[in-house]
């Protein structure tokens, strides 16, 4: 009983100021820059992070001579949760300040996005706006682009490796995040092939597939489609089973996969990005797009991009 009371007391001692300070320091990799963004002194930011570490009884940042050298494993683990808490709070505040969203929006998403995270975010948005209806269609980016132009979609999340801004001129267009595309396998031996490269890809219409094929053909390397699927989970299963190599962006990579380095003679891959585009601009579409752009998924993708030294 006493331990439960202590746990509740410690959780109440953690403030939004502590959470925002840590999230901003993790993003900026600097106490000074975080203070400037939050309009607080550097010492106030430093103290807020130290108090959070004290309440959690763990170290969140690697420090070197007063500078931020990176996140500890505990910091890496807790950062997405803190970003999610702050994002949810911001959405609640925005919903309270604005009129309730009403109407129906038809949204297209590519298969690479986390279905669980996106579905949870949409569910929260619908709970805050009972008069809003959202229909979601999953498809390859090329197909979603065409559906947007034809008017069967109101909003689409579109992956690109050729940075084409050719969207409907009367709508909205916003780059959400940019990442490097990498070659992956389940073990280095998979790449030590003789003859054609066994390629695992999404279905036709995927920019990741197009980028991989273009890179191999420019390098004069023979390949075959060893596995083709419209499902991210299915593609990952084929990769882990050792069927071949694939090309995925950093945000889709976890500890299960091996990144293929330059020693295996695969050609370099381009940067890729995700954009948010709408056919027409209306209040409900504008607010929905703002909601999507602020999702923790994209915040974390931008964090990883900066952490890799890009952008």
Indicate the fold that domain 2-79 takes in CATH: Arc Repressor Mutant, subunit A (1.10.10)
Taking 70 as the threshold, does the pLDDT of residue 222 lie above it?
Answer: yes
Whole-angstrom Cα distance, residue 297 to residue 295? 5
Higher pLDDT, 124 or 234: 234
Taking 50 as the threshold, does the pLDDT of residue 306 lie above it?
Answer: yes
Q: Is residue 238 within 8 Å of residue 160, measured between CB atoms?
A: no
Q: What is the DSSP string of 255-287?
A: TTSEEP-GGG-PPP--EEEEEEEESS--HHHHH
Whole-angstrom Cα distance, residue 170 to residue 120? 30
pLDDT-derived band at 246, boundaries 50, 70, 90? very high
Q: Is residue 97 within 8 Å of residue 125, measured between CB atoms?
A: no
User: pTM for the complete prediction?
Assistant: 0.67
pLDDT at 66: 74
Q: Which residues contact 40 (CB under 8 A, 6 or more apart)?
A: 21, 48
pLDDT at 39: 86
Taking 50 as the threshold, does the pLDDT of residue 157 lie above it?
Answer: yes
Taking 50 as the threshold, does the pLDDT of residue 225 lie above it?
Answer: yes
> CATH assignment of 180-271, given 3.40.50.12160, 3.40.190.10, 3.30.9.10, 1.10.10.10?
3.40.190.10
pLDDT-derived band at 164, boundaries 50, 70, 90? low
pLDDT at 188: 63
Higher pLDDT, 251 or 69: 69
Q: Residue 22: is it exposed, middle or buried by C-beta count within 10 angstroms (0-12/13-18/19+)? A: buried
Taking 60 as the threshold, does the pLDDT of residue 5 lie above it?
Answer: no
Taking 80 as the threshold, does the pLDDT of residue 75 lie above it?
Answer: yes
Do the domains 180-271 and 93-178+273-307 match in fold? yes
Q: What is the DSSP string of 204-237?
A: TT-HHHHHHHHHHHHTT--EEEEEEES-HHHHHH
Q: Which residues contact 166 (CB under 8 A, 6 or more apart)?
A: none
The mean pLDDT value for 180-193 works out to: 75
Most confident of 193-202, 236-245, 256-265: 236-245
Token pair for 104: 């129906």
φ/ψ of 43, rounded to 5, equals -65, -35
Token pair for 194: 């003789």
Q: Where are the domains positioned within the chain?
A: 2-79, 93-178+273-307, 180-271
Taking 60 as the threshold, does the pLDDT of residue 25 lie above it?
Answer: yes
Q: How many CA atoms lie within 13 A of 275 on its CB side?
A: 23
| Residue owning tokens 């882990």 | 240
**Burial 87-121, CB ≥16 within 10 A → b, else e:** beeebeeebeeeeebeeebbbbbbbbbeeeebeeb
The CATH number that domain 93-178+273-307 falls under is: 3.40.190.10
The mean pLDDT value for 198-225 works out to: 94
């Amino acid at each position: 009983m006493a331990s439960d009371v202590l746990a509740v007391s410690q959780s109440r001692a953690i403030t939004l100021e502590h959470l925002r300070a840590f999230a901003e320091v993790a993003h900026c990799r600097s106490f000074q820059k975080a203070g400037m963004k939050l309009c607080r002194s550097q010492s106030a930011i430093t103290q807020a992070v130290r108090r959070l570490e004290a309440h959690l009884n763990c170290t969140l940042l690697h420090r070197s001579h007063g500078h931020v050298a990176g996140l500890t494993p505990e910091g890496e683990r807790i950062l997405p949760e803190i970003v999610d808490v702050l994002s949810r709070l911001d959405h609640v505040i925005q919903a309270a300040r604005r009129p309730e969203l009403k109407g129906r929006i038809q949204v297209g998403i590519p298969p690479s996005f986390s279905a669980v995270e996106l579905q949870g975010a949409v569910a929260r948005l619908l709970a805050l706006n009972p008069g809003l209806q959202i229909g979601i269609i999953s498809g390859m980016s090329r197909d979603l682009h065409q559906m947007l132009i034809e008017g069967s979609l109101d909003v689409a999340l579109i992956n690109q490796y050729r940075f084409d801004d050719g969207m409907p001129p009367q709508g909205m267009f916003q780059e959400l995040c940019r990442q490097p595309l990498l070659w992956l396998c389940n073990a280095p031996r998979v790449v030590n092939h003789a003859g054609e490269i066994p390629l695992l890809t999404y279905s036709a219409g995927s920019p990741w597939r197009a980028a991989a094929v273009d890179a191999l053909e420019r390098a004069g390397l023979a390949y075959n489609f060893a596995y083709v699927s419209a499902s991210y989970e299915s593609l990952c299963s084929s990769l882990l089973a050792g069927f071949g190599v694939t090309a995925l962006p950093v945000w889709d990579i976890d500890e299960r996969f091996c990144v293929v380095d330059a020693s295996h003679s695969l050609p370099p891959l381009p940067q890729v990005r995700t954009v948010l585009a709408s056919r027409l601009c209306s209040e409900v579409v504008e607010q929905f797009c703002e909601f999507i752009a602020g999702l923790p998924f994209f915040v974390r993708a931008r964090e990883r991009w900066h952490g890799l030294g890009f952008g």
